[in-house]
């Protein structure tokens, strides 16, 4: 890593006398290091991720060509140094918004290398549309709009669970 830093420092154009003391050069060096030596993405609770889980654990049939993994979207519930717990989300057919699946079987404990952080996500709440359990419109539900491109094999809605 030290050799990489020295190499980058030696190739940075120097608008000042010393790249080590110039704020602009330091920022440029940091950006170049992120490109050349990417670090693992840090996850936080409530991040939205695309997660690969073993097909035998998935409540759905949609899987990769080798049949070993299923891809779904999930909400990070807990994170530690090497694993995270993810709650499955599903896409509502009419609105394209993503909602939580509250079934206990749709929570997964996975390693961090099984997840891909989705960065273009908007969180909001809306009135729960179920007028039977919410007759006065007092209950809200969490919804997410995902603008990131998802993998082709990603389970999107409840209909995928029964294909």
* Structural domain for 59, as ranges: 48-162
User: Is residue 41, in this structure, part of any structural domain at all?
Assistant: no
pLDDT at res. 38: 55
**pLDDT per residue as tens, the chain (163 positions):** 555 556 655 665 555 555 455 656 666 666 665 566 555 568 899 999 999 887 655 544 444 445 567 889 999 999 988 899 999 999 988 888 999 877 656 888 999 889 999 999 999 999 888 888 888 888 888 999 999 999 888 888 754 544 4
| pTM summary value | 0.66
Same domain for 16 and 93?
A: no
pLDDT at res. 16: 56
User: Is residue 42, in this structure, part of any structural domain at all?
Assistant: no
pLDDT at res. 138: 85
User: Is residue 123, in this structure, part of any structural domain at all?
Assistant: yes
CA dihedral 62, 66, 69, 72 (to 10 degrees): -40
Same domain for 52 and 31?
A: no
Collapsing DSSP states into helix, strand and coil, what is residue 106?
Answer: helix
Same domain for 19 and 93?
A: no
pLDDT at res. 81: 85
User: Is residue 65, in this structure, part of any structural domain at all?
Assistant: yes
pLDDT at res. 139: 86
Contact 123, 98 (CB under 8 A): no
Helix (H) or strand (E) holding 8: helix 2-11
User: Is residue 66, in this structure, part of any structural domain at all?
Assistant: yes
Distance between CA 152 and CA 156 in Å, rounded? Answer: 10
Count of the separate structural domains present in the chain: 2
Which residues have C-beta within 8 Å of that of residue 100, sequence separation ≥ 6?
Answer: 75, 87, 88, 89, 141, 142
User: Is residue 136, in this structure, part of any structural domain at all?
Assistant: yes
pLDDT at res. 61: 45
**C-alpha distance across the termini of the chain, in Å:** 48
CA dihedral 86, 88, 89, 91 (to 10 degrees): 140
Same domain for 62 and 131?
A: yes
């Amino acid at each position: 890593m030290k050799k990489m830093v020295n190499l980058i420092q030696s190739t940075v154009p120097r608008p000042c006398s010393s790249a080590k003391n110039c704020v602009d050069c330091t920022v440029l060096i940091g950006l170049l290091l992120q490109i050349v030596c990417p670090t693992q993405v840090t996850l936080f609770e409530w991040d939205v991720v695309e997660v690969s889980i073993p097909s035998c654990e998935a409540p759905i049939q949609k899987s990769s060509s080798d049949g070993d993994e299923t891809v779904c979207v999930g909400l990070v519930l807990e994170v530690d140094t090497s694993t995270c717990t993810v709650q499955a989300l599903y896409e509502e057919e009419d609105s394209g918004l993503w909602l939580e699946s509250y079934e206990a079987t749709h929570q997964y404990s996975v390693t961090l290398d099984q997840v891909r952080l989705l960065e273009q996500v908007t969180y909001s709440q809306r009135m729960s549309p179920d007028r039977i359990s919410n007759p006065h419109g007092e209950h809200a539900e969490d919804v997410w709009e995902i603008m990131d491109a998802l993998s082709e094999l990603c389970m999107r809605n409840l209909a995928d669970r029964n294909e």
